[in-house]
Structure 1
């Protein structure tokens, strides 16, 4: 798969999850596109890392959204914890990333499959 296809697939997965949680605002999508632009360099330097770019993009978007004042995303609605918290990507650097609730220790959904 070409670098462009890898990045477009990552964009589609992350955008699908953003949309499912109603955070696909213009500013959030701009953040996603900025992250993809920066990850292009990363994947060009480390082509073997193409299997890991999905999770890296998701994590970068999470961090940037929080830094931009857009809040924590995606919020966990899958466990009994009453304190608001976000889902995290696991593995942090690996293939087949998935959203997990660290508080409950459960897998919620593969990246791109949040509901």
Structure 2
């Protein structure tokens, strides 16, 4: 069985690399958010299908809090704002431009 945390981590790493944001400091934050969610998955195994979206939101929060960096920038509006993850807690998370109300890409496909 695939580890849902490692699968979600791979999706985040792909999107970070696709947007040119995969430097060492950001990769360290990815590892921290993955470890931070390990307890969540162990406590609520049924929530493992939702962990990818949670990790993406966690990473967005950490990047904003620690680096003042909004990620990923919206390709529809020349990076004026970041994309959001929807659903907030659900399977098959995707990146959405809230301004346009448009789905931009599934998580892991930027």
1:105 and 2:104 matched: no
**Distance change in 2, residues 1:48/1:68 (3 Å):** same
* 1:90 alignment partner in structure 2: 86
SS at match of 1:89: strand
Q: Secondary structure at the match of 1:68?
A: helix
Q: Any gaps of 5 or more consecutive residues in structure 1?
A: none
The equivalent of 1:19 in structure 2 is 17
Report the alpha carbon displacement of residue 49 of structure 1 after superposing the two structures with TM.
0.1
Runs of 4+ in structure 1 over 2 Å off = none
TM-score (norm 1): 0.91
The verdict on how the C-alpha distance between 1:42 and 1:16 changes in structure 2, with shifts beyond 3 A counting, is same
What is the distance in 1 between the residues matched to 2:22 and 2:68? 11
Structure 2, unmatched stretches of 5+, are: none
Aligned length: 110
Root-mean-square deviation (CA, aligned residues, Å) is 1.4
Note if 1:71 corresponds to 2:69: yes
Which residue is equivalent to 1:37? 35
